[in-house]
Amino acid sequence: MLLIMEKETLVELARLVGGDDAAKVMRLLISKPGVVDEQIAKKLNMDVREVRKLLHKLNSIGILYYELARDKKTGHRIFKWYVQEEQATGFIISNMQKIKERLLEKLRAEESNQFYWCGTLGHPRLLFDQAIEHLFKCPVCKKSMEPHENKDLIEALRRRIEEIEKALTEMMEARRPEVAEKAE
Ligand SMILES: [Zn+2]
């Protein structure tokens, strides 16, 4: 079983890969494992070719799989689609770990450096050496740069890292029983 946050992450991942329609398809797949592409198209009021394109796109990043079956009435081959839960969770965990690493690096940089800034959002914050080179004038707007008080930023980074760590722990614990079952 996927955790709620894993479901939401998968939906967001699908949105990144194939836009809003892909997100809708993913949501449906999560709630109805084994759904056939024609049913998806009908339910979401989409063109079945478009649905297939999205399914293959999502399949190409390894978070879906399908089973081939035969339609009982028509005898035609049909594709039943599923979320590859184990892979999906692994994918989410490794991505969250990468994000956490990046945030930790940023946190270390913020804690151990003094930045200089003009105060306008989107304008660069420079380290002392760089700020000297620019004579403490913002390279974008030329206003003078002051030491940036980054306590709030540091606090926000710490909170975000904590959240991710908590989410990672939950996901790992949710996975553990499954792994144990398979080992038996
Ligand atoms: Zn500026």
Taking the centre of ligand 1 as the mean of its atom positions, its distance from the CA of residue 77, in whole angstroms, is 62
Taking the centre of ligand 1 as the mean of its atom positions, its distance from the CA of residue 138, in whole angstroms, is 5
Give the CA distances from residue 182 to residues 91, 173, 174, 176, 179, in Å, rounded to whole numbers and listed in that order. Answer: 20, 15, 14, 10, 5
What is the spatial distance between Cα 70 and Cα 156, in angstroms, rounded to a whole number? 53
What is the spatial distance between Cα 5 and Cα 11, in angstroms, rounded to a whole number? 10
| 124 or 87: which leads in pLDDT | 124
Lowest-confidence pick of 100-109, 157-166, 168-177? 168-177
The pTM (predicted TM-score) of the whole model is 0.66
Domain boundaries defined on the chain: 4-83, 88-183
- Contact indicator for 147, 136 with CB cutoff of 8 Å: no
What is the spatial distance between Cα 11 and Cα 28, in angstroms, rounded to a whole number? 10
Taking the centre of ligand 1 as the mean of its atom positions, its distance from the CA of residue 106, in whole angstroms, is 21
Taking the centre of ligand 1 as the mean of its atom positions, its distance from the CA of residue 152, in whole angstroms, is 20
Q: Express each pLDDT in 147-166 by its tens digit.
A: 999 999 999 999 999 999 99
Task: State whether CATH 1.10.10.10 applies to domain 4-83.
Answer: yes
What is the spatial distance between Cα 95 and Cα 89, in angstroms, rounded to a whole number? 10
